[in-house]
Structure 1
Amino acid sequence: MIGSETINDYLERLSAREPTPGGGAAGALHAAQGAALIAMVARYTTGAKYAEHEHRSHRIAARADEIIPAALRVADEDESAFAAVIAAYRLSSTSPAERAIRTQAIQEATVAAAAPPQALIELGAEIIELGRELAEFGNPNVISDVAAASEAARAAIATAAVTLDINISAITDQQTQAELKEAVRRADDARVSAQTVSDRVREKVAA
Structure 2
Amino acid sequence: MKLVDLTLKDFTSELASSSPAPGGGSAAALSGSIGVSLVSMVGTLTLGSKKYAQHHDATQGLIDQADASRLEFLRIVDADTESFNIVSDAFKLPKETPEDKAARSVAIQAGLKQCTLTPYQILEQALVGMKLIEAMLEGFNTSASSDLGVAALHLHTAAYGGWYNILINLSSIKDQAFVDDYTTKGTYLLETIDTLHQQILDKVASYL
Q: How many angstroms does 1:84 deviate by? A: 0.7
**Equivalent position to 2:192, from 189, 192, 196:** 189
Residue aligning to 1:82: 84
Residue aligning to 1:202: 205
Residue aligning to 2:97: 95
**Equivalent position to 1:179, from 178, 181, 186:** 181
Residue aligning to 2:69: 67
Partner of 1:144: helix, strand, or coil?
helix
**Equivalent position to 1:104, from 106, 117, 124:** 106
Q: How many angstroms does 1:110 deviate by? A: 0.5
One-letter amino acid of the counterpart of residue 192, structure 1? T
Q: How many angstroms does 1:188 deviate by? A: 3.0
Unaligned runs of 5+ in 1: none
TM-score (norm 2): 0.95
Q: How many angstroms does 1:99 deviate by? A: 1.3
Q: Contact conserved, 1:88 with 1:105, CA < 8 A, in 2?
A: yes
One-letter amino acid of the counterpart of residue 76, structure 1? D
Give the Cα–Cα distance (whole angstroms) in 1 for the partners of residues 75 and 150 of structure 2: 22
One-letter amino acid of the counterpart of residue 88, structure 2? I
Give the Cα–Cα distance (whole angstroms) in 1 for the partners of residues 132 and 141 of structure 2: 14
One-letter amino acid of the counterpart of residue 18, structure 2? R
Unaligned runs of 5+ in 2: none
Residue aligning to 2:19: 18
Q: How many angstroms does 1:140 deviate by? A: 1.2
Give the Cα–Cα distance (whole angstroms) in 1 for the partners of residues 195 and 89 of structure 2: 36
Q: Contact conserved, 1:158 with 1:191, CA < 8 A, in 2?
A: no
Give the Cα–Cα distance (whole angstroms) in 2 for the partners of residues 191 and 86 of structure 1: 32
Identity rate of aligned residues, in percent?
26
One-letter amino acid of the counterpart of residue 61, structure 1? I
Q: How many angstroms does 1:89 deviate by? A: 1.4
Give the Cα–Cα distance (whole angstroms) in 2 for the partners of residues 36 and 2 of structure 1: 18
Q: Contact conserved, 1:45 with 1:139, CA < 8 A, in 2?
A: yes
Give the Cα–Cα distance (whole angstroms) in 2 for the partners of residues 55 and 67 of structure 1: 19
Q: How many angstroms does 1:87 deviate by? A: 1.0
TM-score (norm 1): 0.95
Q: How many residues of Structure 1 are paired with residues of Structure 2 in the alignment?
A: 205
Please tell me whether residue 169 in structure 1 is matched to residue 184 in structure 2: no
One-letter amino acid of the counterpart of residue 65, structure 1? D
Residue aligning to 2:128: 126
Going from structure 1 to structure 2, the CA distance change for 1:92 and 1:188 (only over 3 Å counts) comes to farther
Q: How many angstroms does 1:4 deviate by? A: 1.1
Q: How many angstroms does 1:155 deviate by? A: 0.3
Give the Cα–Cα distance (whole angstroms) in 2 for the partners of residues 72 and 48 of structure 1: 32
Moved over 2 A (4+): none
Give the Cα–Cα distance (whole angstroms) in 2 for the partners of residues 147 and 136 of structure 1: 14
One-letter amino acid of the counterpart of residue 15, structure 1? A
Q: How many angstroms does 1:5 deviate by? A: 1.0
Partner of 2:142: helix, strand, or coil?
coil
Q: Contact conserved, 1:20 with 1:82, CA < 8 A, in 2?
A: yes
Give the Cα–Cα distance (whole angstroms) in 2 for the partners of residues 43 and 130 of structure 1: 14
Give the Cα–Cα distance (whole angstroms) in 2 for the partners of residues 188 and 92 of structure 1: 42
